[in-house]
């Protein structure tokens, strides 16, 4: 057994023959599963020997860097490094460099509680250069209070860089999407992510995840379930699915606080109550008058399908407050929900979208057994780009190109670009935007550009003159106007010159 000797301000570790070895620069070298688990074992031994409780101070000393020197296959029923579900309350605060090696076969399935992952809770940690393959965490049905990520459950003040998660899964046995979660308030009773469950004040760079997630937690995301004041750079999901009953996003379930989120992508197919192909729900810091946004979301892309079983759905985000989104693109189709947009379901609270592009089809088909059938017509809004904008929100220099279908009993405001421009928190504005929808089909308020504009808010906007508007089963009369619900006419031959003048990018229009 290893012996621990306290010297001066830090601990000297004397390893047994089968324990991790010390490298030339003081790093702890990990070559097999037993040595990897030994990180947690050292914590337990230290506490037994010294009678300590709480977190381990020795991790702040020179022997805090762990490095892999081999690929590792893990045994079943892994105990997370940084396990806070036991009496040890061990929080990992070291550095872990995978050096490009792979850890395979993570399996946690015996009634996981609270925080779960390869690492449980990490704080002030630096984890990099690692591949995690075939990782599985199986939860009890309706495990709503669990915080789970395949790499880490909870992370505070950490840095993650150059990490891949391949063929991962987080799910609850016999889990089904049976209920509708229609509220917009965040509930903190669970967070599931393909990479990390909950992350606070950290940085994530070059992290990519391929995982299937099917859970009942209140927030779930392909990379992170719940993110607060965290920076994301050039990361994302490469396929997979994210399915939940609450707030769900292909990249992040719920994003709060500051950012930025820059150069990221998601190709996961997503299903949830408040759901976004990239982020389910965005809530930046409240803005004083004339202040700049501190939550910036730039140059990101979502390509998966988005389905809502509840209220809000957007190909990029379900709901956005106090944020700036710029140069972001959506390619996937969007369906379900009562407030639906090809790019964003509901844009509110002084949020701004500039140079946004939505290229998927928007379909208001009502999933059987959901709350849609009892919703008021005035609460339903569907648009090729946005469902509804409110609270002094604005959209500029953006376009949508997919058809908008309100069918199978869906009734409400339908527009080729936006469903409803609300009078709540006016002025709400859409400026120099384009709908290229081939078809706009609905029953009530149906127009080529904006289904229902409750106040003056359309400024210099366009619709393709070939767009067909069908209202209550019949072709509708269109009244072209750059400031009206049908938008000004634009032909295919005009697109190139207008795109150049207005700065539209990635047109790819028919």
Contact yes or no for 404/382 (Cβ under 8 A):
yes
Contact yes or no for 415/380 (Cβ under 8 A):
no
pLDDT for the residue 397: 93
CA separation (Å) from 161 to 93, 116, 253, 488, 501? 16, 20, 20, 48, 39
Q: How far apart are CA 46 and CA 12, in angstroms?
A: 11
Contact yes or no for 192/148 (Cβ under 8 A):
yes
Predicted confidence (pLDDT) per residue in 8-64, tens digit: 222 334 344 467 788 888 889 999 998 998 887 554 333 333 444 433 343 333 347
1 pLDDT more than 60: no
Q: What percent of the chain has pLDDT over 70?
A: 80
What are the structure tokens assigned to 346, written together? 């509901």
Contact yes or no for 382/417 (Cβ under 8 A):
no
Confidence band, pLDDT 50/70/90 cuts, at residue 298: very high
Q: How far apart are CA 296 and CA 318, in angstroms?
A: 16
Pairing mode, strands 107-108 and 458-459: unpaired
Q: Is 88 helix (H, G, I), strand (E, B) or coil?
A: coil
pLDDT, mean over the chain:
83
Q: Is 12 helix (H, G, I), strand (E, B) or coil?
A: strand
Could you count the other beta carbons within 10 Å of the beta carbon of residue 501?
9
pLDDT for the residue 376: 56
Comparing CA positions, the residue from 318, 111, 136 lying closest to residue 211 is 136
Q: Is 235 helix (H, G, I), strand (E, B) or coil?
A: coil
pLDDT for the residue 292: 81
Sole residue written with tokens 């090729």 = 384
487 pLDDT more than 90: yes
Which domains are seen in the chain, by residue range?
A: 1-54 (no CATH), 71-285 (2.160.20), 333-510 (2.160.20.110)
Residues 169-184, mean pLDDT to the nearest whole number? 51
**Range of lowest pLDDT (136-140, 322-326, 381-385):** 136-140
Write the DSSP symbol of residue 124: S
CA separation (Å) from 165 to 3, 59, 268, 322? 35, 26, 14, 31
203 pLDDT more than 70: yes
Residues 117-136, mean pLDDT to the nearest whole number? 95
Predicted confidence (pLDDT) per residue in 369-395, tens digit: 544 444 555 578 999 999 999 999 999
């Amino acid at each position: 057994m290893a012996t621990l000797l306290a010297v001066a301000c830090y601990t000297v570790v004397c390893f047994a023959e089968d324990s991790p070895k010390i490298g030339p620069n003081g790093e702890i070298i990990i070559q097999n599963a037993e040595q990897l688990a030994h990180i947690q074992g050292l914590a337990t031994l230290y506490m037994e020997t010294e009678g300590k409780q709480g977190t381990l101070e020795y991790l702040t000393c020179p022997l805090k860097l762990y490095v892999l020197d081999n690929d590792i296959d893990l045994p079943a029923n892994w105990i997370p490094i940084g396990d806070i579900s036991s009496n040890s309350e061990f929080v990992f605060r070291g550095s872990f460099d995978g050096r490009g090696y792979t850890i395979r076969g993570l399996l946690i399935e015996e009634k996981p509680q609270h925080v779960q992952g390869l690492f449980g809770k990490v704080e002030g940690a630096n984890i990099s250069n690692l591949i995690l393959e075939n990782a599985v965490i199986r939860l009890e049905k309706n495990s709503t209070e669990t915080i789970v990520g395949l790499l880490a459950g909870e992370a505070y003040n950490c840095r993650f860089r150059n990490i891949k998660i391949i063929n991962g899964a987080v799910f609850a046995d016999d889990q089904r999407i049976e209920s509708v979660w229609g509220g917009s308030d965040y509930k903190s009773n669970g967070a599931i992510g393909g990479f990390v469950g909950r992350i606070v004040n950290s940085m994530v760079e070059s992290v990519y995840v391929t995982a299937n997630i099917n859970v009942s937690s209140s927030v779930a995301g392909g990379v992170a379930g719940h993110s607060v004041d965290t920076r994301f750079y050039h990361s994302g999901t490469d396929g997979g699915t994210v399915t939940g009953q609450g707030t769900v996003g292909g990249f992040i379930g719920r994003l709060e606080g500051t950012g930025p989120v820059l150069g990221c992508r998601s190709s996961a197919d997503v299903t949830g109550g408040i759901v976004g192909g990239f982020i389910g729900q965005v809530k930046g810091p409240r803005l004083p008058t004339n202040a700049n946004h501190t939550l910036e979301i730039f140059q990101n892309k979502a390509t998966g399908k988005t389905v809502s079983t509840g209220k809000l759905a957007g190909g990029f985000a379900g709901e956005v407050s106090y944020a700036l989104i710029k140069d972001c693109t959506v390619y996937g189709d969007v369906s379900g929900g009562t407030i639906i947009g090809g790019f964003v379901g509901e844009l509110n609270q002084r949020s701004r979208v500039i140079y946004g592009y939505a290229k998927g089809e928007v379909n208001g088909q009502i999933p059987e057994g959901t709350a849609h059938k009892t919703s008021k017509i005035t609460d339903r809004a569907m648009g090729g780009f946005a469902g509804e904008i409110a609270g002094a929100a604005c959209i500029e220099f953006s376009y949508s190109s997919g058809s908008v279908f309100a069918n199978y009993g869906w009734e409400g405001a339908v527009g080729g670009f936006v469903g409803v421009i609300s009078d709540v928190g006016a002025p709400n504005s859409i400026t120099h935007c384009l709908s290229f929808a081939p078809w706009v089909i609905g029953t009530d308020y149906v127009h080529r550009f904006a289904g229902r504009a409750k106040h003056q808010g359309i400024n210099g906007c366009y619709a393709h003159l070939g767009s067909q508007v069908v209202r209550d089963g019949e072709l509708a009369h269109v009244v072209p106007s750059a400031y009206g619900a049908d938008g000004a006419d634009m032909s295919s031959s005009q697109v190139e010159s207008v795109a150049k003048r207005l700065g539209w990018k990635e047109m790819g229009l028919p």
